[in-house]
């Protein structure tokens, strides 16, 4: 059996002479995205309470060569119009739109300054990312950047920290973007093959299955609307929110309502597409829905019962239209009542739950990124109204759990990481 997955905490609470890029001169068609409005989901990620950034931490076993990264980013990442466009407001309509712009790669690739008196390289990397999450990306340039930490750790020769505003895309589109820029370790000249695996859409093959889907969807609809209107999780030490983090919890009720917001990919496939082909947009953007997962608080004699219960609930979630409903419902509210109302509704659902949970499938074999061997991939987010997010990503035969925790609510995320890791060990031991 594979080793226990790593559990890495991330603490959260943002012109020079470089190579430039201009879409029209590089020869690709900007007309498709020129002055086009942002999608409804992209606009939502600019609303208060949902202004979220994705952080992609990539450990490299090869010493980082910044010039190689810059050169390759110009010819890969910047050929996708989302990464070479500003997000500005239309003066007539007030809506946000993509505006192609000149990009100076040196404005986006930053070499981190190292502290000569650092306690340890691992702690420096952790603190650097935590500090980075406290600031936004300036809207005067495309909303992404790359920070290079030329520092050796126990696992790596250097660390890259990609930062994207969530309006550019969701975890699946950005993972596919990474894979489209990467090559196989077994053949550095060959691109990774496209993953044509279906995304897990609900299959309805019998009357009973159809009734089950309808019932599960109805229950999910009731819970979603109730949560958006009034149904809030129980106040616990883990349910932190702005303005309430100094609350003392002395009498926590026995019947605790503790829920997670789960995010689902709504694409029919997860096929990797050419980043330079602007006629294909299947993997780009934000095509995600979400579902609400209720935890059952209590001690069980058999540790595997936790796994069985979780699987049973997730099977019901998959046999429902809940993720599709949330996606289309938010879009419907936006069209009928505008972005502000949709944003408040979205925020209310997140605010009334306790944590976020997300996962992204990564490469199944070892990869190289611009000639640098990848040791690990660890994505996460910041800007969400919840004090805790758990993100899971696979790479080869290993799972990595990344904890994004607010320090004021969870002052010792390393202890939480240790506790979760110990729980996994107990579950594993019970198999024998």
| Positions marked active-site | 166
Please name the helix (run of DSSP H) or strand (run of DSSP E) that holds residue 344, with its range, or none.
helix 339-351
Which residue is it, tokens 């596919």? 176
Asked if residue 376 lies in contact with residue 361, where contact means CB atoms within 8 angstroms, the answer is: no
Phi, psi (5° rounding) for residue 35? 60, 25
CA-based nearest residue to 377, from 389, 392, 390: 392
DSSP 111: E
Sheet holding 6-12, edge to edge: 6-12, 398-406, 388-395, 355-360, 259-265, 288-294
Helix (H, G, I), strand (E, B) or coil at 63: coil
Cα gap 54→38, rounded to integer Å:
18
Pair of tokens at residue 365 = 């074999």
Helix (H, G, I), strand (E, B) or coil at 327: helix
Q: Which residues contact 246 (CB under 8 A, 6 or more apart)?
A: none
Q: Which residues contact 254 (CB under 8 A, 6 or more apart)?
A: none
Identify the burial level of 115 via C-beta atoms within 10 angstroms of its C-beta, where 0-12 means exposed, 13-18 middle and 19 or more buried: exposed
DSSP 128: H
Q: What is the DSSP string of 142-154?
A: -SEEEEEE----S
Cα gap 430→260, rounded to integer Å:
26
Pair of tokens at residue 163 = 């930062």
Asked if residue 342 lies in contact with residue 333, where contact means CB atoms within 8 angstroms, the answer is: yes
Asked if residue 83 lies in contact with residue 168, where contact means CB atoms within 8 angstroms, the answer is: yes
Q: What is the DSSP string of 212-271?
A: HHHHHHHHHHHHHHHHHHT------TT---TT-TT-------SS---EEEEEEE--SB--
């Amino acid at each position: 059996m594979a080793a226990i997955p790593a559990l890495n905490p991330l603490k959260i609470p943002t012109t020079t002479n470089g190579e430039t890029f201009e879409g029209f001169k590089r020869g690709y068609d900007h007309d498709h995205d020129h002055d086009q409005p942002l999608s409804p989901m992209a606009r939502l990620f600019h609303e208060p309470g949902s202004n979220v950034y994705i952080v992609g931490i990539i450990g490299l076993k090869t010493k980082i060569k910044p010039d190689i990264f810059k050169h390759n980013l110009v010819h890969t990442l910047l050929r996708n119009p989302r990464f070479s466009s500003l997000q500005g407001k239309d003066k007539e309509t007030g809506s946000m739109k993509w505006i192609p712009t000149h990009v100076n790669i040196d404005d986006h690739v930053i070499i981190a300054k190292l502290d000569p008196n650092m306690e340890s390289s691992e702690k420096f990397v952790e603190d650097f990312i935590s500090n980075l999450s406290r600031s936004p990306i300036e809207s005067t340039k495309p909303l992404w950047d790359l920070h290079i930490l030329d520092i050796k750790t126990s696992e790596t020769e250097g660390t890259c920290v990609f930062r994207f505003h969530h309006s550019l895309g969701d975890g699946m589109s950005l993972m596919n973007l990474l894979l489209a820029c990467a090559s196989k370790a077994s053949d550095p000249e060959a691109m990774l093959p496209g993953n044509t695996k279906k995304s897990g859409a609900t299959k309805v093959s019998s009357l009973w299955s159809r009734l089950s889907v309808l019932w599960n969807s109805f229950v999910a609809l009731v819970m979603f609307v109730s949560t958006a209107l009034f149904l809030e999780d129980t106040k616990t030490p883990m349910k932190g929110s702005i303005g309430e983090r100094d609350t003392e919890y002395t009498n926590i009720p026995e019947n605790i309502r503790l829920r997670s917001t789960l995010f689902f990919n709504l694409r029919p496939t997860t096929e990797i597409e050419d980043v330079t082909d602007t006629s294909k947009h299947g993997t780009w953007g934000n095509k995600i829905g979400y579902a609400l997962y209720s935890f059952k608080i209590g001690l069980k004699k058999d540790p595997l019962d936790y796994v069985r219960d979780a699987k049973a609930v997730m099977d019901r979630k998959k046999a429902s239209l809940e993720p599709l409903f949330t996606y289309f419902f938010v879009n419907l509210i936006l069209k009928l009542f505008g972005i502000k109302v949709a944003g408040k509704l979205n925020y209310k659902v997140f605010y009334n739950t306790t944590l976020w949970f997300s996962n992204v499938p990564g490469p199944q074999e070892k990869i190289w990124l611009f000639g640098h061997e990848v040791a690990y991939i660890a994505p996460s987010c910041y800007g969400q109204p919840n004090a805790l997010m758990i993100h899971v990503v696979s790479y080869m035969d290993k799972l990595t759990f990344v904890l994004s925790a607010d320090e004021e609510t969870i002052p010792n995320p390393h202890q939480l990481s240790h506790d979760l890791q110990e729980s996994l060990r107990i579950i594993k031991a019970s198999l024998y």
